[in-house]
Amino acid sequence: MNNFTENRKTATTTTSPSSHGLENEGEVIVIKKLERMPTEDIDAKADEFIKNFKHHLLIQRLQSIENYEQMLARGQ
């Protein structure tokens, strides 16, 4: 590893109590790992997001067409 990567790794994995305002010796800081969601849940959320996004695009397109038709009607 190069020096930058080693420094970065060290900085992210070790902390001193005084850097967090903790002055008590022997105090333990517990770092909880993020729990991973099952792939099916992630896929379902992604599908729902895409469906919602496409729905909003459709609404915007219809509003744009309606605004265009109103503009043409005012000109006649």
> What is the per-residue pLDDT across 15-36, written as a single tens digit (0 to 9) for each?
455 555 555 667 888 888 777 7
What's at 16, amino acid-wise?
A: S
Nearest to 27 by CA among 36, 18, 35: 18
The span from the CA of 42 to the CA of 65, in Å, is 35
Q: How many CA atoms are closer than 13 Å to the CA of 32, on its beta-carbon side?
A: 3
Tokens of 67: 């605004």
Q: Residue 46 belongs to what domain range?
A: 3-75
> What is the per-residue pLDDT across 64-74, written as a single tens digit (0 to 9) for each?
999 999 999 99
Structural domain count of the chain: 1
Nearest to 31 by CA among 15, 53, 47, 11: 15
Tokens of 31: 């770092």
pTM: 0.47
